[in-house]
Amino acid sequence: MARTFDAVELEVLWGSLVSTVNEQARALQRAAFSPIVREAGDLANALFDRRGRMVAQAVTGTPGHINSLAVAVAHILDRHPADRLEPGDVLITNDPYKTAGQLLDVTVLVPVFRNGRVIAFFGSTIHHTDVGGYGIGAGARDCFEEGLWIPIVKLMEKGERNAPVWDFILANVRQPTHMAGDLHAQMASGEIGAQRLQSLLDAYDLDDIEDLADVVVERSEDATRRAIRGLPGGRYEATSVLDLADGSEITIQVAITIDNVEGEILVDYEGSSGPSPYGINVVKNYTHAYTTFTLRSLLNPDVPNNAGSLAPIKVEAPLGSIVNAVPPSPTTARHVVGMFLPMPLLQAMSQVLPDAVMAEGSAAVWTMQVSGQHDDGSPFITAMFTYAGGVGARATKPGLSATSYPTGVAAVPIEVVEGSAPIRFLRKELRRDSGGPGRNTGGLGQTIEFTVDTKAPWTLNAVTSRLARGPLGVFGGGAGAVGRFLVNGESVRTQARITLQPGDVVRLELPGGGGYGAPAASEEVVGA
């Protein structure tokens, strides 16, 4: 017989589950070697039931990681079913087509055993500093050039290292100590989650979380379907164009069909661009992640994000397109397109929920990675560091300045970046007047300048976008300023890694957000 829970008991249990995954995330951030995890929160942590359904997620993390992890666990359990696992086993993969879309994102899954059987899993996905290969950037020609591909395997077996797997991973990365440290941090965070969950089950005399998971998932799905039923049914379309550093453009075509009888939404990307030769191709998991995040934010952001609330939103994309990549398409910089997807989605939904949407923002964060040699000849390589432009304005408020939307990652402090390599920052400030005009103005971008204090040439992997088309305004609002990527005052127009010389200065001017509504002066003219 299924265990039932009264309202008070359910609220206490749910709060305990959220606290557990939040503690899992905090433990991972404290222990991680990679600054992008430790300082910026580029990670995902979640609890899954034995069937592989995501039940609860940590509040810290990015939508691209969280919602991709929600799908990835099913792939992992297809390869290693719960009933075939033993205490002490830990699973790992960075298969981009089954997880978060790039080889640098490594997923670790820690089973929880109780009374001799698996009752749950704690999963984490984090951005590792290095997995060999090309590194951060869009210049690799295929996924095999981008780095080490870890299939779905056991990282630990019965509590012992799976030695061949560890040896193979650590032999193929530039910083094996950092890689090992981050893997141990992921496993330790899963163990913390497992210990806390065991204590919760002891306190409430529960053998597993199946009945609790059923209630949480079913209520979340019901709430999401109710929200969709409250929308006007129909098909709503939008097209957005994203320009890249080399002058090429990507078109994203989206059609949103709202079925307000069944309480479901279908998002179809038919008509979007084909594959790119650069590493900006997006796997379907990642497309699904940012699509569901965007729509969930508009529908019912207070409902827990789990398998239930994600279920009513379906995503279709043409196989082999820019938003449904197939091997061997390179994908390391998939965030350029993936984080742009909310822009056409919001444009389409502006026809449905005009007061809930916002204008276009800068979208994808600009990512940097620097490598070279110290003056003593020893090599250095920085972890990825990122910067955000302006967010689009809203119906009642201006856009946020220098804020990462939709990813939500924080900027790694410049002191931390300077401590990891001989980088010296010369400028970091908000970019004046870069927000689009409107009744509410778009958020400001920012300007960053840096150089590298070395006597030898150094390399820069920089991934930028929106250098020709500024983020569009909505309902009469103006566009935000376009971005600029300069070296020694000259524009750089490439997606590939570049080699720079001692004393060269990199200047990044990030786009501003679009404005919402016609500016007051324009409204007066129109009404005159």
What pLDDT is stored for residue 524 in this prediction? 41
Q: Are 35 and 417 in contact (CB under 8 A)?
A: yes
Q: What is the pLDDT of residue 2?
A: 84
Q: Where are the alpha helices (DSSP H) in 230-377?
A: 284-299, 307-310, 335-338, 342-349
Tell me the pLDDT tens digit for each residue of 164-214: 999 999 999 999 999 999 999 999 999 999 999 999 999 999 999 999 999
With a cut of 70, say whether residue 453 has pLDDT above it: yes
> pLDDT tens for residues 367-392?
999 999 999 999 998 888 999 999 99
**pLDDT number for residue 521:** 65
Which residues, 6 or more positions from 237, have their beta carbon under 8 angstroms from its beta carbon? 253, 254, 255, 256, 348
How high is the pLDDT of residue 136? 87
**Among 194, 219, 244, residue at a domain's last position:** 219
Strands 366-373 and 458-463: antiparallel
| Distance of alpha carbon 337 from alpha carbon 330, whole angstroms | 13
Which of 221, 217, 407, 216 lies closest to 313, judged by CA? 221
Q: Which of 158, 191, 219 is the last residue of a domain?
A: 219
Residue 17 maps to a domain: yes
On whether residue 228 sits in a domain, the answer given is no
Instruction: Tell me if 215 is assigned to some domain.
Output: yes
The H or E element spanning position 509 is: strand 506-509
Which of 208, 225, 213 minimizes the C-alpha distance to 10? 213
Whether 248 maps to a domain, the answer reads no
- Coil, strand or helix at 118: strand
Per-residue pLDDT of 214-235, as tens digits, reads: 999 999 999 999 999 999 999 9
What is the structure's pLDDT at 133?
94
Q: Which residues contact 199 (CB under 8 A, 6 or more apart)?
A: none
Judge whether 324 lies within some domain.
no
Pairing of strands 313-316, 264-268: parallel
Where does a domain end: 219, 243, 270? 219
> Model pTM?
0.96
List, for residues 488-503, the tens digit of each pLDDT value. 999 999 989 999 999 9
Would the pLDDT of 527 be above 50?
no
Spatial contact of 243 and 228, defined as CB atoms under 8 Å apart:
no
Over 60: is that where the pLDDT of 523 sits? no
Q: Which residue bears the tokens 């790039």?
A: 102
**Residue 290 located in a structural domain:** no
Range of the domain at 63: 7-219
- Written as six digits, the tokens of 4 are 């039932």
As a whole-number percent, the residues of the chain with pLDDT over 90 amount to 94
Establish if 297 belongs to a structural domain: no
| Dihedral pair phi/psi, residue 242, rounded to 5° | -110, 125
Length of the chain: 528
Angstrom CA distances, 420 to 13, 33, 496, stand at: 42, 11, 23
| Per-residue model confidence (pLDDT) at position 526 | 33
Q: Average per-residue pLDDT in the chain?
A: 96
Cis amide prior to 471 (ω within 30 degrees): no
CA distance 237 to 235: 7
Residue 491 covered by a domain = yes
Number of domains in the chain: 2
